[in-house]
Chain A
C-alpha cells in the first residue's frame, strides 16, 4: 500500500463511526488464524460443514464459477473453474496488477472512520473478482469470510470488477465457527460495474451472538450497468452497522437493493442503503424488510436524485413479533434538481390479525399461521435471476430460517 494512503488512513484512526455503537478495537486479538491452504476442503468436520451451509457455503468447486475461502486472516482456498472470470486474494492481485491501485480505496475513503483506517493500516486479505469484458458467468462465484478463532478481529478488503458487458453472480457467506462467540469483522468492499455489465451480489450473514460487524461498501455503476444486491441476516449477532453507497454515474444505470433481516434479543442492527442517481434515466429500488423478535433494527434508506429524469423507490417494512423489540425506519429522499421522481413507503407493525385469521380459516393454528406470514414476509423474489442462483438463495434462506 502506498505511503500516502497509509498517511490518510492514520488520520482516521480514532474517528468514531457516525452510526452504530462504538467498538473498542483493542479488545480483539490479531494473533492466530494461520490456517493452511486446503485444496480439497479436507479440514472441515461435519458440524463445521453444516454450519457453513447455513451461510450458503457449500465447500465445493462444483457448479461454481470460482470459489474463495478466507478463514480468519488466511486464504484457505481460492480456485477458478470457469473461463472469463478471475478470482485472487486481494494481496496477490495488488502485487500482480499495478493498475489495481486505480480501484483500491477509490470508492471508500481509508479515513472514513476507525474501521476503514484499521483495515487500511493492517490488512489481512480479501477477494479480488473480475469478470472479463463480455463474459457471461452463469454459475455463481462463491466467497466465504470466516472467523474461526475466538476473539479475533478480521480485516478484509474486497474488490469486484465487472468489465463492460459482462455478467457476474457472487454469493458471499460471512460466518463464524460454531464454537466462536466473540469477534470483530471489518470488511471494505468496492464494486465497479462497467458499461452494460450486470452484477448480482448476494450476501448472507450468519454470525455468532457476540460478534460486531462493520462492513464499508461502495458501488459504482456505469452506463446501462445493473447492480443487484440481496442481503440476508436471520441469526443472532451482537451488532451490524453498515450503510453502503451505490452511485449510478452512467446513463440508464440501474440498481435494486433488497434486504431481509431479523433482530434477535440483544442484537443491534443499523442497516442502510444510499443511492445517488447522478445520470439520466437511472433507476433505483430499495426494499428493506426487517423483523424483530426482541432486538433493535434501524432501517435507513436514502435516495438522492441529482439529475432530472431519474426514478427511484424506497420501501422499508418492519414486523414486530415481540413485546420489547424496536424497529426504526428512516427513509429519506433528496431531490437536488427538478424532474426527479422518487417515492418511499414505510410501515412498521405487528402481523395483521386479518391475515392470521384468513390462514386459520384454512386450518392452520395461530402459530402456524403467524410463521407462514413471517416466512412470506422474509422471502425475496427477484426477477431475472439465473435459476441456479435463485435455487441457491432459496436453499440458503431455508437453512438459515431453521430455528427462527
Chain B
C-alpha cells in the first residue's frame, strides 16, 4: 500500500526528516510514537503533500505509484486521507458542505453519517468554528469516513477528547480501518500518531515505530513499545538510537 524510501524533508530549509524508510502493507495498521518535535506530524503532512514540506531526497510510493511530487488533491483522490490534529477554521462554509465534498455524494449520505455519530447539530455550523477539541476530532474522523480513504492517516486522534467521547472516536477509527472484518479481507491501512496509546485499547495494530530526531529509531510490537516508553520515557529511545548510530 505505502512505501517510503529514504525520505528527507525540510521545512523552511531546516532538515526535519532524515532518511525515513517505512512500508505498510494492505490491511495493516501502524502506530507512530515519538516525543514532540520528533517529526511525526511532518511525516504525515509530507505524505499528504503540503507545500511547506519539501522533499529533498527519497520517494513515496502509494499503491505502486510514485506520488512524491503529486498535488495534495490528487493524493486525496487516489485514496490518502488525513485527520488533522489542528485543522483551520473556515468561515462561512458549512460542515455539511465539507462532508459532501468528502463523500462526493449528495446530502443524504453526509447526513446519515452525522446521524450515526450524533453530529447532526454541527452540520449547519461553519467548519471548526467554535468547536471544542473533541468536536474537531469527531468532525475530522467523520470527514474521513465520508472520504473512505485506502490509507488512513491520523494525527493524535485522542487529543482533546473527553472520556465520554473517547469510545466513539475509537469506534469510528475501527470502522475506518475495517477492524470488524477478518484481517485477510481488509483493504484499508492506517498510520496513526498517538501519545497516549489509547487507540490500542480499541484495535490491534500490527507494527509500532518510534520516531526520534527525524528518523525511525526502532520498530516493534506497538503494545510493547508503549509499555517501554511508559516505563522509561523517550530518553531511552534516544540513547538506543545513539548506540545504534555508533
B147 partner residues in chain A, CB cutoff 8 A: 362-363
Complex contact B88–A364 (CB within 8 A): no
Partner of B71, one of A352, A353, A354, A366: A366
Q: Is B143 positioned at the interface, with any CB of A under 8 Å from its CB?
A: yes
Chain B interface size band reads: 20 to 34
Compute how far the CA of A360 lies from the CA of B98 in the bound complex, rounded to whole angstroms: 11
Q: Counting chain A CB atoms within 10 Å of each CB, which of B72, B76, B82 scores highest?
A: B72
Q: Count A-side interface residues using an 8 Å CB cutoff.
A: 23
**In angstroms, how far is the closest chain A Cβ from the Cβ of B72?**
4
Partner of B72, one of A355, A357, A372, A373: A357
Q: Is A381 positioned at the interface, with any CB of B under 8 Å from its CB?
A: yes
Complex contact A363–B90 (CB within 8 A): no
Complex contact A361–B51 (CB within 8 A): no
Partner of A376, one of B50, B71, B82, B126: B126
Complex contact B88–A352 (CB within 8 A): yes
Compute how far the CA of A1 lies from the CA of B72 in the bound complex, rounded to whole angstroms: 66
Chain A contact residues: over half helix, strand or loop, or mixed?
A: helix
Residue of A nearest to B50 (CB): A357
Complex contact B90–A364 (CB within 8 A): no
Q: Is A375 positioned at the interface, with any CB of B under 8 Å from its CB?
A: yes
Compute how far the CA of A353 lies from the CA of B49 in the bound complex, rounded to whole angstroms: 13
Which of B72-100 touch A at CB < 8 Å? Answer: 72-73, 76-77, 81-82, 84, 87-88, 90-93, 97-98
**In angstroms, how far is the closest chain B Cβ from the Cβ of A382?**
13
Complex contact B98–A362 (CB within 8 A): yes
Q: Is B199 positioned at the interface, with any CB of A under 8 Å from its CB?
A: no
B104 partner residues in chain A, CB cutoff 8 A: 363
What residues of chain B have their CB less than 8 Å away from a CB belonging to chain A?
Answer: 48, 50-51, 71-73, 76-77, 81-82, 84, 87-88, 90-93, 97-98, 101-102, 104, 126, 143, 147
| Contacts A/B (CB < 8 Å), 7 sampled | A354-B88, A360-B71, A361-B48, A361-B84, A364-B101, A365-B73, A373-B93
What residues of chain A have their CB less than 8 Å away from a CB belonging to chain B?
Answer: 352-355, 357-366, 369, 372-373, 375-379, 381
